[in-house]
Structure 1
Amino acid sequence: MKSNLLIIIALVFLSCNKQKNEPTNNEVGSTSKVEDIEALALFQQKCYACHSVSTKSHNEIIAPPMVAVKRRYMKEYDSKEDFVKAIVAYANDPKPENALMIGAVDKFKAMPKQEFKEDDLTKIADYIYDNEIETPEWFEDHFQQKHKNGQGMGKGRNK
């Protein structure tokens, strides 16, 4: 019953936000709308508590916005498979030495270790890769200030 309610809430959210679902690779049509809705619900439930999109400024955040995470991982990993593996690997073992986003770890520390189901992490990472991620209002200005001339998005410690 609870999962049906989450699916209904996610459907309403999707229709209200008219969020784009533009495939970014050759896997056009590889997931159904129900799978996308389930992945979105997991994403919001598991990620947005710390990676909030509703903060008013960079000073209020406790973790980088997911749009920043997506940008950084997309820059590092050329394929969806590698992107998903990397996101899942870090979420499963979020130590500073495993981090790709060194500046974020320096500012916020490593993500706290949590118990995630591997399947849920894979669904979330797939969703992040395949969909436009909601962006906090302040993010683009902050990103341009902090990352002009390629600064701040260098290679991670490990790949």
Structure 2
Amino acid sequence: MKNLILCSLLLFALVSCNNDKKPSTQATLSNTKTAEQQEEAYTLFKNTCYACHSITSKSHDEIIAPPMIAVKKRYLMANPQKEDFVNAIVNFSKEPTEQKALMFGAVQQFRVMTNLNYKEEDLKKIATYIYENDIEKPVWFDAHFDEQQGGRMGAGRQGNNN
């Protein structure tokens, strides 16, 4: 009888210690939806932003707008919180003006971004994608950034002057 109780306790302990729980169907659907949303946001980002903010240029002299990694770095400096970052990107992109620009040096070099009339919903998806993900950069970017900026970005009219 002792052996039966001991075996039962041992079996109970082994079964209750099993942490390999399968995710619920709802969790699986939620993860799939998130992956689909990420893919949609990346496609929007790639198709709208990289047309001007190219990652395939061979040098800084070939670009027509600052690389998106530079945009992300500058906007993160001024807006480290996700909601603020997304709002700042959306606000500028909805109606780009020199007064709203954070990248004043880029405005001087490339002029203000053209108003492309994107839907606010799409801009939010793009800005969220930029905030949450590593952004590709041109092969020359790190060397140029270190050389020209000394590891820091010039301030625009808003934010710090460092």
TM-score by length of 1: 0.77
**Structure 1 position 75, deviation (Å):** 0.9
Tell whether 2:63 aligns with 1:75: no
Tell whether 2:141 aligns with 1:157: no
Tell me what 1:65 maps to. Answer: 67
Q: Which runs of 4+ in 1 moved over 4 A?
A: none
RMSD over aligned Cα atoms: 1.4
Tell me what 2:45 maps to. Answer: 43
Q: 1:137 to 1:149 in 2, by over 3 A?
A: closer
1:58-106 per-residue CA deviation (whole Å, 9 max, x = no partner) reads: 0000000000000011111120000000000000111111100000000
TM-score by length of 2: 0.76
Secondary structure class of the residue paired with 1:96:
coil
Secondary structure class of the residue paired with 2:148:
helix
**Structure 1 position 156, deviation (Å):** 2.3
Tell me what 1:137 maps to. Answer: 139
Q: 1:117 to 1:155 in 2, by over 3 A?
A: same
Picking from 104, 107, 116, the partner of 1:102 is 104
Q: What is the identity percentage for the equivalent residue pairs of Structure 1 and Structure 2?
A: 50
8 Å CA contact 1:88–1:122 kept in 2: the answer is yes
One-letter amino acid matched to 1:157? R
**Structure 1 position 114, deviation (Å):** 1.1
Secondary structure class of the residue paired with 2:150:
helix
**Structure 1 position 155, deviation (Å):** 3.2
- Contiguous gaps of at least 5 residues in structure 1: 1-28
- Contiguous gaps of at least 5 residues in structure 2: 1-30
8 Å CA contact 1:100–1:157 kept in 2: the answer is yes
Aligned positions, number: 128
8 Å CA contact 1:94–1:113 kept in 2: the answer is yes
Higher RCO, Cα 8 Å, sep 6+: 1
Give the whole-Å Cα distance in 2 for the aligned partners of 1:55 and 1:155: 24
8 Å CA contact 1:52–1:61 kept in 2: the answer is yes
8 Å CA contact 1:76–1:155 kept in 2: the answer is no
Picking from 104, 114, 118, the partner of 1:112 is 114
